[in-house]
Amino acid sequence: MNATERLAARPARFALRAALVVAAAMAAMALGGCHPSPSSFLRRHPNVEPFNFQISLGPNHYQIAGYLSRSTEPGRLPALLVLNGDADTAERCVENNADVVAMGIHVACVSIPGYGRSSGPGRFVGPQAVAASRRALDLLEAKPEVDPSRVAVWGAGDGAVAAGLLMDYDSRPRALILQSGAYDMLKLWPQAPLGTKLAIIHQVWPSRRVLSERSVIQHLPQRLDCSVLILHGERDRAMPVSQAMQLAGALRERGARVETRYYPKASHRIAKRMVQPELRAFLRENLLDADSASNS
């Protein structure tokens, strides 16, 4: 190509680049539109209110974002605290748990640090995640419409690690649902796939101290008086199902009432329709029927 041809082709290249930039901007705007603003989300969900708060850990301050979805049934009702630690947002959590609210259970969806609209960094479920979980539990139990003796906690992925660590340090939850989590980081690290290792290194350097600090099994109290439902996919490559089995055994040794459901065809992200039957039955038994039995 001679100089004249190169000069003639240059405007075409510029036009192509400009078109690509515009297309990328339009795609970004379209993707951004998939996540509604808090104000528009609340307008579409009249039974939902913001559940935002701040925590401090040393010199660091974190803004924690969430929502409380209230049941319309009268009286003080049980509550479910959902710790969001995956790609889903608190808005998606509210929409996915409308059927739980319909059971007569208030649902608080909270994103742990580094997820959803909560500030970070997450640092692979560091101490700030436990602090956020405990503060969320404080605020939820203080609600006049919530019965503090009937509160459950549900976490999936990194949210399950946060829920498990909350169980280690806080005896208030009557029941816990742990889904697709890793509970012994010291054993996970040598056998973890490369993708999991890179995800951890991206957030925190995996020293023995750091891994131990984030290991639910390392900090379990000697005795536990709670019910635990463990959900895990047998094809989960990110967090092997052996982690769930190991935790189930450790919990039973400490007196916890443990139910397990391992899904042969499920991977790390278990479809909502698959976990709903076990979840609803577990919540009914431990939050709804348990209160009826105590009043009879």
CA dihedral angle for residue 96, residue 132, residue 163, residue 237, rounded to 10 degrees: 80
Q: Where are the alpha helices (DSSP H) in the chain?
A: 3-32, 38-44, 90-96, 98-102, 127-141, 158-169, 185-191, 194-203, 208-213, 241-253, 272-283, 289-295
Confidence of residue 291 (pLDDT cuts 50, 70, 90): low
Confidence of residue 35 (pLDDT cuts 50, 70, 90): low
Residue 37 has pLDDT above 90, yes or no: no
Omega within 30 of 0 (cis) for the link into 38: no
What digits encode the pLDDT tens for the residues 159-179? Answer: 999 999 999 999 999 999 999
Residue 19 has pLDDT above 50, yes or no: no
Provide the pLDDT for residue 139. Answer: 98
CA distance 218 to 182: 12
Mean pLDDT over 177-183 rounds to 97
What digits encode the pLDDT tens for the residues 57-78? Answer: 989 999 999 999 999 999 999 9
- The pLDDT > 90 percentage for the chain reads 78
| The pTM of the whole model exceeds 0.95 | no
Provide the pLDDT for residue 103. Answer: 97
CB 62 within 8 A of CB 113: yes
What digits encode the pLDDT tens for the residues 188-237? Answer: 999 999 999 999 999 999 999 999 999 999 999 999 999 999 999 999 99
Mean pLDDT over 80-101 rounds to 91
Provide the pLDDT for residue 88. Answer: 75
Provide the pLDDT for residue 31. Answer: 38
CB 246 within 8 A of CB 187: yes
Confidence of residue 11 (pLDDT cuts 50, 70, 90): very low
